[in-house]
Amino acid sequence: MSPLYESILITGGGGMLAHAFATLQERGLQERGQSPFIAARADCDVSDRESVAATFERVRPTLLINCAAYTKVDLAEKETEAAHRANAVGPAVLAEACRRYGTALVHFSTDYVFDGTLRRPLRPKDPVGPQSAYGRSKLLGEQAIQACRPHRWYILRTAWLYGPNGPNFVETMLKVARAGKPLRVVNDQVGSPTYTFDLAAATLDLLDSLDRGTSGIWHVANAGQTTWFDFARAIFEEWGLAPDLRPQSTDQWRATKPDGAVRPPYSVFDLSATERQLGRPMRPWREALRAYRTDTYT
């Protein structure tokens, strides 16, 4: 990575994605001369200007990787203020600090900024239209960064994220299956499961490859597509489990959770621009799932 990024601050230190960056640090970043400062919320509350200012004074980052976010998609329908504070106010505060200090900013967003009606792989400039409180809060965060225009900014949208050190769909499925409970999983929402380690590695590779004068939005996910039901079936195949698993429609799911968030029925990303920039393809989602099992359980 360029010496321009020799001082790296990673926020959201208690979560899955920051954990992936921390693991990459152990596996190779230090060999490249990188030793990021990883800040948990107690160290840096991204929605608090004073907390962010104090952290920037201490670390003097040339690169900020913002992994802090509110990610409880369904609960966000009730906890709208908490989601807004973390996902909209936080990016705005960080962007202001990055502009003031000349710091490059990497921020992660989501496929939930789309409404899911466009039935082809989604490009960064496609129209947005979030249908949930979570999606709206994440879109506001994107817009705040673009309005502030820090020195360099990169918004990386990702989807269906899972990995160690946090609650995720894979672990939920395994927990329910091992408890011997029946599973009914939605089979009419299509997307791309994404392993945190692959997202973190692609982020660093993008930073290596991008011209220092550019900013923009990138779509980063594991390659290929599946439904939540087929994702669950793949999980059980990889782990050698055979629970009572059956498909259900979104309408059937909403009948049991009327207060749940509306999710995009289709949110597969067009990765062509990202893969050209990386000079390599993103790993297929099924291979990434297998790698997660190996990395986490062996």
pLDDT surpassing 80 at residue 34: no
Q: Two tokens at 15?
A: 């979560």
pLDDT surpassing 80 at residue 25: no
Q: Compute the residue count for the chain.
A: 298
SS3 state of residue 24:
helix
Listed in sequence order, the DSSP H helices in the chain are 16-24, 49-59, 80-84, 90-101, 133-148, 169-178, 196-209, 228-239, 250-256, 272-278, 285-297
Distance CA 109, CA 4 (A): 24
Average per-residue pLDDT for the chain: 94
One-letter amino acid of 50: E
Q: How confident is the model at residue 124 (pLDDT cuts 50, 70, 90)?
A: very high
Predicted pLDDT at 204: 92
Distance CA 236, CA 246 (A): 13
pLDDT surpassing 90 at residue 141: yes
Q: Per DSSP, what are the bridge partners of residue 247? A: 185
pLDDT surpassing 60 at residue 101: yes
Catalytic: which of 5, 134, 162, 266? 134
CB-based contact 52:39 (threshold 8 Å): no
Query: Would you kindly state where each structural domain of the chain is located, as residue ranges?
Result: 3-167+195-222+269-284
Is residue 134 annotated as part of the catalytic site, yes or no?
yes
Global pTM reads 0.95
Q: What is the pLDDT of residues 168-200, one digit of tens each?
A: 999 999 999 999 999 999 999 999 999 999 999
Pick the CATH number of 3-167+195-222+269-284 from 3.40.50.1110, 3.40.50.720, 3.40.50.1950, 3.60.150.10: 3.40.50.720
Q: What is the pLDDT of residues 192-232, one digit of tens each?
A: 999 999 999 999 999 989 877 789 999 999 999 999 999 99
First to last CA, the chain: 30
One-letter amino acid of 55: T
Predicted pLDDT at 213: 76
